[in-house]
A and B are shown apart, each in its own frame.
Chain A
Amino acid sequence: MTTFNKHQIADLLVLTVLLALVLGYCWDAYNASSQVINLILVLPLTGLVFILCAIEFINQWRKRDQQAPELEPFATIVPVVSLFAAYVVTLPWLGFDVGTCLFIALFLWCHGERRWRWLLGYSLCFASLMTWFFSQMLPYPLPMLILPTEY
């Protein structure tokens, strides 16, 4: 008996989630207003996505005997994604100055940088330079913890 490999199962899962999100969006748009001008693009596109998903399900079924491609291990990506997500989510509290410095320093440390001068020096310099440059360039204040919010 032939079975799907792990990659194909994940692929089918992504496909299902995408279809569910598209259908959910269409339903939300329909609930917001059923006027033609509200659904003129959303409804036909949802229909097309539905058809393409069906085609892709059939494609996957046909390819179920194939070997999974060699991809980078999921476990190596998770810490990076988590650190990046934590950086972005904490920016309103930590500010761009401290948040960026911490993000860079933690990333370097997690990836084997143990030279403290490099680790601290680079993260401090990069964060200070970027924060200063963008705060000078942008017409609105950057959230900060230590450096002045407006120049």
Chain B
Amino acid sequence: MIDVDALHSGLGLLFSSFTPWLIVIPGILIGLIFGAIPGLQISMAMAIFLPMTLYMDFMQAMLFLTAIFTGGSFGGSIPAILMNIPGTSSSIATAFDGYPMSRKGEHNIALGIALGSSCIAVIIGYSMLFFLIQPISSAVLTLGPAEMSAVVLWGVTLIASLSGAHLAKGIMSGLIGLLIGTVGYSEAGVARGTLGSAYLLDGIPAIPAMMGMFAASELFKLVNTQYLVADSSARKVSVRVIFASFKRAVTYPWVILRGSVIGIFVGAIPGVGSSVANLLSYIETKRKDKNPESFGKGNPAGVVASEAANSTSEAGSMATLLALGIPGGGATAVMLAAFAMHNITGGPQFIREQTDVVYAIIFANFGQAFLLIALGLVFIPLLANIVKVPMTYLIPSVLALAVFGAFGLTGNMAGPYTVMIFSLIGWLFKRFDYSVPAAVIGILLGNMAESNLIYTYQISGAQWSYLLERPVTIGIIVLLFVSLLGGRLVNALSQTVKK
């Protein structure tokens, strides 16, 4: 139900003065820069600038932080497209087709289409949030640890199913990733797989591992290449093409809509959402496309699917934060800290008593989407010039950048060491057809999968029958097997029928 009085009041909060909007533009720019630089995270940007919000009222603070969130969500796709480094875990699927497009000289198209789909999806996502905030939060409350474990396994299996002819290696990569994600202190209070190193007691740093596996390993492969884009005529940066491709995003309405629905519902799941939503959207788009073989080789629909989902997963995580007071990830955790700094507690009471503020935050994001278009169109052409840099200069620069970023994430040498070791592992994985994305998702979610399995074990009293009382868990497990074996079964059946 929409509270019309609160809606009026919320719009009044936003538009009665221009002051709240003054901090949105720097917020989006900060987000874009932190998202676009590998190793600098959106949550890091928000944490660094959080003290500034002490001098703002609550409304301004939320506008500033959500602006960083919006800018960063898109910013992460820029290095994913240009350098095969997903700026965040929610941009992993963007690299699948965005980077091959760049290598073909279609970087202008990829960046424009990513910006277009992101902005449209932000508007769709927050529109859905406006109407569905209550049902989404109720749905999230029904998810227990059993469902969370199933979602993690589903995410890993989904990505492994992309491995095509190398399915066994794909699944194995995901499982090995999950195991790597459990290294360090366990819930039982014992250290595992640390090899006696104090650096590993907290586990293997997931984001530096991701940077090593995706970026550094790819750069090793490109050592003998002169430019990222081989054809010199295709290296041009064209604002006109970027703008035309931005508009082209609307030619994928179903891909955007599907990605948005997946993004908002899966994105609302705390901790798992944003990492899985983009993959799920990508796989669904690939499955429904007439030419699924073109995915992974530079199909723009792959970029649209991923960007639509990761942009709306922001709205999904905001639903959980606003309605339940549960942060879905690092960025929303910083927002929760901003809530605390202004003596506000998120949750049902907040929605009931400050509905106008909730509506104002939602409407502010519509405005942010339009500002992102303007800032993105200025910012992207500058970054797209990366394709003109010779690989001799680009490779050491990006490797060094990854090392700086990794140090920034861990605060010690564990980050750079992780990048180095995982760059080798990533290179070996690519060379021998293992799935790097599946391994990365496993590393990101391994710890969470184990914690949720333990909670399920403790709640259920070690009784399997407990799962029968959780229809959502069974549903997700069924989906897991369908996504893994569905295509193969249909092929096998159709071949049998033909015979």
Which residues of A does B touch, CB under 8 Å?
10-11, 14-15, 18, 22, 25, 28-29, 32-33, 35-38, 40-42, 45-46, 48-49, 52-53, 55-56, 59, 71-72, 76-77, 80-81, 84-85, 87-89, 91-92, 96, 100, 103-104, 107-108, 111-113, 122, 126-127, 130-131, 134, 137-140, 142
* In-complex Cβ contact of A10 among B187, B216, B399, B432 (8 A): B432
* In-complex Cβ contact of A40 among B399, B432, B454 (8 A): B454
CA distance A37 to B171 in the complex (A): 24
Q: Is the CB of A25 within 8 A of B192?
A: yes
Q: Is the CB of B172 within 8 A of A11?
A: no
CA distance A46 to B291 in the complex (A): 36
CA distance A33 to B188 in the complex (A): 8
Smallest Cβ distance from A19 to chain B, in angstroms?
9
Which of B417, B420, B432, B458 is packed against the most chain A CB atoms within 10 Å?
B432
Known: A29-B193, A84-B216, A112-B392. A41 touches B178 (CB 8 A): yes
Which residues of B does A touch, CB under 8 Å?
40, 48, 168-169, 171-172, 175-176, 178-179, 182-183, 186-188, 190-193, 216, 220-221, 223-224, 392-393, 395-397, 399-401, 403-404, 407-408, 411, 413, 416-417, 419-420, 423-424, 427-428, 431-432, 446, 449-450, 453-454, 457-458, 462
Q: Is the CB of B179 within 8 A of A88?
A: no
Smallest Cβ distance from B277 to chain A, in angstroms?
23
Q: Is the CB of B393 within 8 A of A84?
A: no
Smallest Cβ distance from B51 to chain A, in angstroms?
11
CA distance A53 to B459 in the complex (A): 33
Known: A25-B193, A33-B190, A88-B417. A134 touches B392 (CB 8 A): no
Closest to A122 in B: B393
CA distance A35 to B189 in the complex (A): 11
Closest to B171 in A: A52
Q: Is the CB of B179 within 8 A of A103?
A: no
* In-complex Cβ contact of B168 among A32, A55, A96, A103 (8 A): A55
Q: Contacts of A111 on B, CB cut-off 8 Å?
A: 223, 392
* In-complex Cβ contact of A32 among B190, B220, B428, B453 (8 A): B190
Q: Contacts of B453 on A, CB cut-off 8 Å?
A: 40-41
